Amino acid sequence: MRFNLNGRWVEDAQADPQSTILRYLRTQMAQVDVKEGCAGGDCGACTVMVGQVTEQGLQYHTVNACIALLASVHGAYVITPQGLASDGELHPAQQALIDHHGSQCGYCTPGFVMSMAALYQQQFSQADSDAAGQTVSNRPADRLNAWPVPEDEAIHAAISGNLCRCTGYRPIIDAARAMGEYPAKNADAVVSFDPKEINVSQENGLQPLLKKQQRQLFLPATEEQLKALLQQYPQATLWAGGTDLGLEISQRFSQFDTVICLHQIDSLQHWQHQSDEPSGQLVLGAGMTYTQLEPVLAKDFPSFAELLHRIGSRQIRNLGTLGGNIANASPIGDTPPVLLALGAQLEIDGIHGRHQIAAQDFFTGYKQTRLRTGEYLRAVILPKLSPSQTLHCFKVSKRYDDDISAVMYAAWLEIDDQQIIQARIACGGMAATPLRAYTVEQALTGQPWCEATVLAAAQQVEQDYQPIDDVRASQGYRLQLVRNLLLKTWAQQEVVA
């Protein structure tokens, strides 16, 4: 196990395979500037920046160190608040926070600093990619002047996973807007880096990266290696982003004997357009994170792309994957209803060979799926929308950011000449699995597309769903939401038309 911490390489073959980044930093490296608040990915106190080497230099993103496995940063750079300052000079994110009176308590501030610093570095990358043709070594020295002030939306997204329960966000946002006023030393990378030092072998995927007592962790680099490992360890726990599984370790203290991490397998993060369907298909690797999906979905499925901004926080979206959301099979997962409404297919591989299954046949019960032992989700196939088809995705939760749905609603409609040809409506939070509203769909199909049709169909919602009362919403509220969201679909479609 090898990673770079604040500019210094750390190697440890003895680390616990189940160590999170946070636990390792605080207990093995005495790096106590990274804080633990909730230990569940919610508060952002533990935020660190993770840097990957690309052709553009080091590209940073933030993660919740409390739920991310240490193995997830094998070969990567990890920056903590202390690592941001160099030679006694604070990073612009730190100095701007001080100057704008945005520094608060010792728990939330380190996390805010890291989220702001990642935004600062990303703004540089954006400026650099705009200045086409310039490599890391030949960028002009005065490029600091080109730091683009981020849009408020980008600032809000960057700190969407950082909670302060006591004071206010306004000074923090002011500081984020002002970061460009402070020139940064070593602005390219925060730390000096040499890609040659990474030295992470891709050939040892069949050997455990970490092993301690009965626990072992593998980091396959290809699907071939993954399948070979599944032959040997069919019961192994597949670990993608760990934004569901990480809580098993940090909050439930569960033990996993054999873990196979998926994040180094490039083919699970690929996406491509195919032309099999009349309008074509978009094939998404199951290992794509939400952050990777956002730009890919934006053109063909804008409503789906918009929904992604409502999933967790920036830190969660940097780690959490589409495949993890599906395989976790939570009734309140946000993407499954969309996949049901779109008529998506899931591609599965593993020890029984490759095959496909319709998303709507995948979920068999509360957190139960048709995935068999030794299998993994490989890809998700979305039929693209023809000009007569539309997709509407609505998430209703108590908070805008970083909150789980009370109801997640998705509607796919095919309307021709003001007549509903086909309708697929699916919801999460209404049953033990994500579920289609077949009676409502029947009430819509073949009818004229008008408000009266939608109002009549909305009366059928109780035929399809008998949700439970829980902390997020009562049964009556959930049913009323679905009725209202049908009407919202009508209103939105009218605006589009």
Minimum CB distance to ligand FAD, residue 470 (Å): 16
| Cβ proximity to ligand FAD, 100 vs 310, nearer residue | 310
| Cβ proximity to ligand FAD, 316 vs 458, nearer residue | 316
Q: Which of 449, 19, 24 is nearest to 239 (CA)?
A: 19
| Cβ proximity to ligand FAD, 86 vs 237, nearer residue | 237
Q: Which of 393, 293, 386, 298 is nearest to 341 (CA)?
A: 393
Separation of alpha carbons 247 and 251, rounded Å: 5
Interaction partner, residue 262 (ligand FAD, ligand FES, none; CB < 5-8 Å by kind) = ligand FAD
Interaction partner, residue 240 (ligand FAD, ligand FES, none; CB < 5-8 Å by kind) = ligand FAD
Q: Which of 215, 163, 226 is nearest to 35 (CA)?
A: 163
Minimum CB distance to ligand FES, residue 20 (Å): 9
Minimum CB distance to ligand FES, residue 102 (Å): 10
Minimum CB distance to ligand FAD, residue 428 (Å): 8
Q: Which of 129, 127, 131 is nearest to 179 (CA)?
A: 127
Minimum CB distance to ligand FES, residue 61 (Å): 15
Interaction partner, residue 37 (ligand FAD, ligand FES, none; CB < 5-8 Å by kind) = ligand FES
Contact 158, 119 (CB under 8 A): yes
| Cβ proximity to ligand FES, 158 vs 371, nearer residue | 158
Interaction partner, residue 44 (ligand FAD, ligand FES, none; CB < 5-8 Å by kind) = ligand FES
DSSP string for 379-441: EEEEEPPPTTEEEEEEEE-SSSSS---SEEEEEEEEEETTEEEEEEEEEESSSSS-EE-HHHH
Contact 110, 81 (CB under 8 A): yes
Q: Which of 78, 87, 112 is nearest to 98 (CA)?
A: 112
Q: Which residue minimizes CB distance to ligand FAD? A: 324
Count of positions (residues) in the chain: 497
Interaction partner, residue 45 (ligand FES, ligand FAD, none; CB < 5-8 Å by kind) = ligand FES
| Cβ proximity to ligand FES, 24 vs 193, nearer residue | 24
Interaction partner, residue 105 (ligand FES, ligand FAD, none; CB < 5-8 Å by kind) = ligand FES
Which residue ranges make up the site for ligand FES (CB under 6 A)?
36-39, 41-46, 64, 66, 104-105, 107-108, 164-167
Q: Which of 286, 359, 288 is nearest to 323 (CA)?
A: 286
Q: Which of 490, 407, 414 is nearest to 454 (CA)?
A: 490
Separation of alpha carbons 34 and 200, rounded Å: 26
| Cβ proximity to ligand FAD, 109 vs 162, nearer residue | 162
Interaction partner, residue 474 (ligand FAD, ligand FES, none; CB < 5-8 Å by kind) = none
Burial class, 475, CB count within 10 angstroms (exposed 0-12 / middle 13-18 / buried 19+): middle
Which residue ranges make up the site for ligand FAD (CB under 6 A)?
40-42, 237-245, 262, 286-287, 311-312, 316, 319-321, 323-325, 327-328, 333-334, 371, 376-377, 402, 404
| Cβ proximity to ligand FES, 320 vs 428, nearer residue | 320
